[in-house]
Amino acid sequence: MAKTPTDIASLARSHTRTAIRTLAQIMKQPEAPYAARVAAAEALLDRGWGKPKQSHEAEMTHRYVVEIPPLLSNEEWQEKYSSSSSPLIDLKMIRP
């Protein structure tokens, strides 16, 4: 009879201590080639606990600057706009 995914995860989790010990032993003995043991230990951990979540980092290099012109005083505004011969609003643009 086939095992359910829950049974497989449970069986893999039962080897967690051994897998961690194997990884620790490999980490402490860099002269020995343990590639196959590392792959097996990682496979057990991935099956039992799931793969680690991946994070992505990005550095933003764009910066936007918005310049706002200074406000005009009432006197400056009247001087600038009331003395002009052209109207402030072009009625031709509003009317069809």
Q: What is the pLDDT of residues 24-59, one digit of tens each?
A: 777 777 776 668 777 777 877 787 788 878 777 888
pLDDT of residue 3: 66
pLDDT of residue 94: 62
Whether 80 and 72 have beta carbons less than 8 Å apart is answered as yes
The CA distance from 38 to 69, in Å, is 64
Task: Evaluate if residue 96 carries a pLDDT over 70.
Answer: no
DSSP 96: -
Q: Phi and psi (nearest 5°) for 50?
A: 85, 155
Instruction: Report residue 20 as tokens.
Output: 């961690």
The CA distance from 13 to 10, in Å, is 5
